[in-house]
Amino acid sequence: MITRSALRHRSLIGLVTLVLTGCGTTHESMYTWGSYETQIYKLYSQTGKTPTEDQLASLERDREVARARHRPLPPGHHAHLGYLYFSLGRVDQAIAAFESEKTLYPESRRYMDRLIDRAKNKSLEARHE
pLDDT top residue among 12 and 68: 68
Rounded to two decimals, the pTM is 0.73
* 25-42 confidence digits (pLDDT tens): 556 788 989 989 988 888
Domain extent listing, the chain: 52-129
Question: Residue 47: pLDDT band by 50, 70, 90 thresholds?
Answer: confident
CATH number assigned to the domain covering 52-129: 1.25.40
Average pLDDT over residues 45-73: 92
Q: Which stretches within 1-129 are classed as H helix? A: 4-24, 36-45, 52-69, 77-87, 91-104, 109-128
